[in-house]
Amino acid sequence: MTDGEAREYGPLGKALVIIPTYNEADNLRSVIARVRTAVPEVHVLVADDNSPDGTGKIADEIAADDEAVQVLHRSSKEGLGAAYIAGFRWGIEHGYGVLIEMDADGSHQPEEIPRLLTALGGADLVIGSRWVPGGRIVNWPKSREYLSRGASTYSRFLLDVPMRDITAGFRAFRKETLESIGIETVASQGYCFQIDLTRRTVHAGLRVVEVPVTFVERERGNSKMSRDIVAEALWRVAAWGVEGRVKKILGRRHT
């Protein structure tokens, strides 16, 4: 947890769950149904990257029956980061005060959204963490666990951020947080996108809180994890780490 500047937090406003999709036809209906049951007051935005398996069509059918569900059709597969940024912009333009990231594959538990919203009452960003006390994973191979833990440790060391689960993709932002950290300049994707938003929030002096969640490995469909995503995270984090250390050194020389 980082405390940021002590201050009073205003009301949260309307909440929007953003679900980026690419070939999630087998999972989307059940995930949205769980969100709408668990937290009926929140709205859902599906950001679909022109899925060839018909995910976008399924999203349209759900939206036709539920006015709390909207669909953002994107022309091509541009990656997780680009989908979320498009969703953030849509949500801010439509008056939402809270933007929630959540996967479409069932790995994030919609029933835990209230926990994130409660914590956001006194924070700028809340991360649903697997690696804080009370957090856990279900049905993950050890190789994935080592990769995730290793990525967080690597990033925490190089970027000087205290988060235990910096790559987590289940999180809630205040609108003002996203407006203040320059999301228009974010170019990173995958693991790296989550790392980038976290470091920007911490370095802006904002308050970040981690709450424990349960992460369940998907039962249907294919993971989007790839060697390219891991490689991007490694080199971008290293570059950010070097940049940060250079700025500190130069800052000391001019004080």
Question: Residue 169 is part of a domain; what is its CATH number?
Answer: 3.90.550.10
pLDDT tens digit string along 124-169? 999 999 999 999 999 888 888 888 888 888 888 899 899 999 999 9
pLDDT tens digit string along 70-128? 999 999 888 899 999 999 999 999 999 999 999 999 999 999 999 999 999 999 999 99
Query: Across all residues in the chain, what is the average pLDDT?
Result: 89
pLDDT at 188: 82
Angle between helices 113-120 and 28-38 (to 10 degrees): 50
For residue 100, the number of C-alpha atoms closer than 13 Å in the C-beta half-sphere is 29
Q: What is the mean pLDDT of residues 187-201?
A: 88
Give me the residues paired with residue 44 across strands: 17, 69
pLDDT at 237 over 50: yes
Q: What is the mean pLDDT of residues 25-30?
A: 96
**What distance in Å separates the CA atoms of residue 207 and residue 196, rounded to the nearest whole number?**
16
pLDDT at 152: 85
**What distance in Å separates the CA atoms of residue 224 and residue 247, rounded to the nearest whole number?**
35
Q: Is residue 2 part of a domain?
A: no
Q: Is residue 4 part of a domain?
A: no
Q: Is residue 172 part of a domain?
A: yes
Q: What is the 3-state secondary structure (H, E, C) of 194-220?
A: HHHHHHHHHHCCCCEEEEECEEECCCC
For residue 169, the number of C-alpha atoms closer than 13 Å in the C-beta half-sphere is 24
The angle subtended at Cα 241 by Cα 252 and Cα 154, nearest 5°, is 135
Q: Is residue 60 part of a domain?
A: yes
- Domain span including residue 87: 15-253
Q: Is residue 140 part of a domain?
A: yes
Q: Is residue 69 part of a domain?
A: yes
Instruction: List phi, psi (to 5°) of 108.
Output: -95, 135
Q: Is residue 178 part of a domain?
A: yes
Q: Which of 227, 238, 226, 225 is nearest to 199 (CA)?
A: 238
pLDDT at 231 over 70: yes
Tell me the pLDDT band of 255, cut-offs 50, 70 and 90: very low
Q: Is 101 helix (H, G, I), strand (E, B) or coil?
A: strand
Q: What DSSP character marks residue 116?
A: H
Structural domain count of the chain: 1
Report the share of the chain in percent with pLDDT over 70: 91
Q: Is residue 1 part of a domain?
A: no
pLDDT at 107: 94
